Chains A and B, each alone.
Chain A
Amino acid sequence: MALASTQTVSKYIPTHWYDGWKRLRKQKTAIVGLSIILFFIVAGLLAPLLAPGHWDGQNLAVRLQPPSAQHWFGTDDLGRDLLTRVLYGARISLWVGFFAVAGSIVLGSILGLSAGYFGKWIDTLISRIFDIMLAFPSILLAIAIVTILGPSLVNALIAIAIINIPTYGRLIRSKVLSIKEEEYIAAAKVIGMGHTRIILRHILPNSVAPIIVQGTLGIATAVLEAAALGFLGLGAQPPQPEWGKMIADSRQYITTAYWTVLFPGLAIMLTVLGFNMFGDGLRDALDPKMKQ
């Protein structure tokens, strides 16, 4: 989104994107959300520089220490520095969130585009599969998938990606259905353009805006789902510093050492909040009805 705002550059950018950015900048919540996201991205990237210790640096002698000058967030029950683990946890959560959503979008788009564009039995088949998947509570479906694949962070990512495919698939299908009837598509067909070219060059670019909005909001959901799977012991495996896993590991200390659950919990909350605020703002900014 970091597009320059000078007039010269704007010539090369589709106007509705540029307009969107202008409107986005005016939305305070979106900018706050974006800042939070950037903050966590930077924290994750610079974790080796920022973190005071090693994320698996166990020291039983200093277990369950409250926040102090030496350990800003305190230490957990194995004497590991919590600030370090929360910072490294940002890497895991954002990585899972981003790639799970990317996976859902790619697969969802392929299926949604095929269903919407070709219609007939292809549409019926794909739509019914989506309906079936949506009939399951998504976290249950994720648990089932992870159980089959075996508990690990990568498998949790795959499971989260799979359960979210129908969301994107349906979204893009509905968009394709309306675009397909546009005159320029008819024109493209008339001059003998192939299906692939029509889909990739004309339909896809015009249906991508709602996907971006949904994807941003989807990252928040994915982060939460990864945390839930981690909490259940089905996602990240010890000693990985995944936030949900950190809460699960420390929940027995909630009365005696609140910081062990507070900081990972805050990290989850802020990340989710950031993506939701940004996603909301993005939706408003990209909505054509909002055009001045």
Chain B
Amino acid sequence: MKKIVSPILGVLLAVSLMLTGCGSQSTTSPSAPQAEKTLIEGRGGDSVSLDPANVTDGESLRVTENIFDTLVAYKPNNTEIIPSLATEWKASPDGKEWTFTLQDGVKFHDGTDFNADAVVFNFQRWMDKSNPYHTGGDFDYFQSMFGGFKGDKGCVIADVKALDKTHVQFRLTVPQAPFLANVAMTAFAMASPDAVKKYGDKFGQNPVGTGPFVFKEWKPNDSITVVKNKNFWQKGLPKLDKLIFRVIPDNTARLTALQSGELDLMDGLNPSDAATVKGNSKLQLVTRPSMNVGYLSFNTTKPPFDNVKVRQALSMAVNKKGLVDAFYNGMALPAKNALPPSVWGYNDAVKDYEYNLDAAKKLLAEAGYPNGFETDFWAMPVARQYMPQPQKIAESIQADFAKIGVKTKIVSMEWATYLKKTKNGEHPMALLGWTGDNGDPDNFLYVLLDKDNANPPAASNISLYKNDKVHELLFKAQITPDIQVRTDLYKQAQLLIHDDAPMVPLVHSTPLLASASYVKGFIAHPTGTERFTEVSIEK
């Protein structure tokens, strides 16, 4: 009867497979001696690199936010600008010259002085492709926020120079309206010049900044540990001694880890689990103000997606309302623009494509595909704030597409590869999303849909959508200081984009987080990355 045992083993196997995601190491449990205050945050994916200038994903920036400082920063709960490494700033009347006054006496974690020369060094590294330290990545954010690199036609920054030890001056080619908001972005953080010189393209594994925490250890796909910076310029802070970012890909497994005390805080709570958290007195629910979009991008350079009718037809075959109800528990809005309604400039006059499979099929036939076609459908391997269950959402959209004859195969790959390949335009159709960095519409529309950013291998406009009229509007909006005029320009651009349907905006989610009730002072920032400077553990 030996073999009878194996079905039981089978069930055990199934159960154990289900539980493997939970992990079981509790060696770093927060019950260490009272002197050491450690907070462990669980998240869905690992960082790609810890060089903030060379990443665009939230999982990387979430960590660098705590290691580095920017010249100016955002308030803890919105995108208003506050002083950080720079205490004051001033623009010339024509908006083309910006002068920042820096703090005196701040030191990087490795002991290097922070001063105007360090600022110049960082900007030179990012903007000048011929700079010897322009290594470690593609500097995507610099390219997309400042219109290209030094020598490119669109590059906004003409020159950066140190006036004296604590004053640095920027000369711009055009008066870029969101300049200050851009400079505040986590990506444009000050790295130690000595460390950059020492590590070269390995700086992303050895980050050195001026921030509240000092990088200690990175175990790939497991955890990143940072410890308190004892010489942090905000005296008496941070309150924590140690901060650990742990990767637990599955949202449910992560919640289980939080419940069992392995984690103190978790990002990416499944909306369907919100009730569980509310019902547990040891946990608290944290909502992040919504400033994101989850979308389905069509690669407009690959047939049949180069045909606008095909894109429009598929736009009609997505049941956004159904997705919101099923996968967000109502904690999201169906999207009709790439820009979320929480950001100014949103065009509510855009009329969304109506969910109508018959009309979609008809339009598809008009486009020359009466029997549909077959294609790959890329879906993210990890849960994101704007999309807690990408595989499920893909499967749901897949079923609707099948009804109009479009047969799709869901393709998934490792997260870093996924980002790299979509930036390179290798996908026919892919799910992705964007969380705003600075609260400016430019940070959505220009980044995601301008032709300046449609250049593989570093395209942030992964639809590779190129429309000159849209570009004209977006560029004009960038260099116009008047917010009313800018609003108007963005509204026009959204109408044009809607008609071209380079992507299907799916939802604007209100991301949910959960923490143990003894975690105090944690405020979720709309940009998706937050500092743990003021966070404490009070048991």
Residues of A within 8 A of B (CB): 56, 58, 60-61, 63, 77-79, 217, 220-221, 224, 227-228, 231-233, 237-239, 244, 247-249, 251-252, 254, 256, 261, 265, 268-270, 272-273, 276-277, 279-280
Contacts and interface: CB of A to CB of B under 8 A. Distances in A.
15 contacts: A56-B399, A77-B326, A77-B392, A78-B399, A224-B10, A224-B13, A232-B17, A233-B412, A237-B410, A238-B410, A249-B391, A265-B14, A268-B14, A272-B7, A277-B4
A35 to B, nearest CB: 16
A51 B409 CA distance: 25
A123 B319 CA distance: 61
A257 B395 CA distance: 19
B252 interface: yes
Given A60-B396, A78-B326, A254-B18, A228 B7 contact: no
B8 to A, nearest CB: 8
A150 B3 CA distance: 32
Nearest to B323: A60
Give the most central of A60, A220, A247: most B CB within 10 Å: A60
Nearest to B322: A60
Contacts of A252: 250-252, 270
B380 to A, nearest CB: 13
B35 interface: no
B1 to A, nearest CB: 7
B6 interface: yes
B17 A239 contact: no
Give the interface centre of B3, B319, B323 by most chain A CB atoms within 10 Å: B3
A249 B391 CA distance: 9
Contacts of A233: 412
B6 A276 contact: yes
Contacts of B251: 252
A251 to B, nearest CB: 5
Interface in B310-329: 319, 322-323, 325-326
Interface in B379-435: 391-392, 394-396, 398-400, 402, 409-410, 412
Interface string B1-41: 10110110011011001100000000000000000000000
B283 to A, nearest CB: 15
- Best-buried of B250, B251, B325, B396 by chain A (most CB within 10 Å): B396
A81 to B, nearest CB: 13
The 8 closest A-B pairs by CB, nearest first: A252-B252, A60-B322, A58-B399, A273-B7, A272-B7, A276-B3, A238-B395, A60-B326
B252 A273 contact: no
B301 interface: no
Contacts of A221: 6
Interface in B441-498: none
